[in-house]
Amino acid sequence: MRFRLEQRFSAAIDDVEGAFVDPALLVELATLPELGRPELVEHVDTGHSVSQQVRYTFTGQLSPAVTSVVDPKRLTWVEHSELDRGTHRSVFRIAPDHYPDRLSCSGTVVLESVDGGTRRTIEGDLRVRFPLVGSKVERAIVSGLRDHASAEARVVQAWLDRR
């Protein structure tokens, strides 16, 4: 399932970019529901690029249809991302700790200067391979991603406003 998410920030593009690769922001993002406490696994900043790996744990509620095929305690994954500071573009890949044959997700994040602020666009492809319920699970995950992106934008904007 293809998806597209958009976030808007009143800050300049370099400030928004810096926020999303600042390990200190993860502490703020830990206040969001459903993702537990993000854990920084690796962070390499060469100046021109930033490679980051962050582990997440899903802690939200799941429907019985989903829990019939997935153990909620095993919904952990690492997001691998690589930012090119020159183009303000990142590529990402989700690597599930469990069920790697059942879920895949990858995409891009693009930052653009718009109307004195910054637009952050996330586009990706999510695939859930479970007979009969795969497309239902995909829709539920993308819905959750939309909700998370909205909440994340509020937390990030507040973080930027304090700086």
Find the range with the poorest average confidence among 14-18, 74-78, 106-110, 135-139: 135-139
Q: What pLDDT is stored for residue 35 in this prediction?
A: 64
pTM strictly above 0.95: no
**Residue-wise pLDDT tens digits, 19-71:** 999 999 988 888 877 666 789 999 999 999 999 999 988 777 777 767 777 78
**Dihedral angle over CA of 61, 34, 69, 105, nearest 10:** 150
Mean pLDDT for 7-18 is 97
Tokens 């934008």, residue located? 153
Residues 6+ apart with CB under 8 A from 119: 6, 7, 8, 9, 111, 112
Q: List the chain domain ranges.
A: 2-161
CB 159 within 8 A of CB 25: yes
Tokens 């500071």, residue located? 85
**Residue-wise pLDDT tens digits, 89-130:** 999 999 999 989 988 999 999 999 999 999 999 999 999 888
Q: Which amino acid is at 140?
A: A
Token pair, residue 57, equals 């744990």
CATH code for residues 2-161: 3.30.530.20
Most confident of 8-17, 68-77, 99-108, 146-155: 8-17
Q: What pLDDT is stored for residue 112 in this prediction?
A: 98
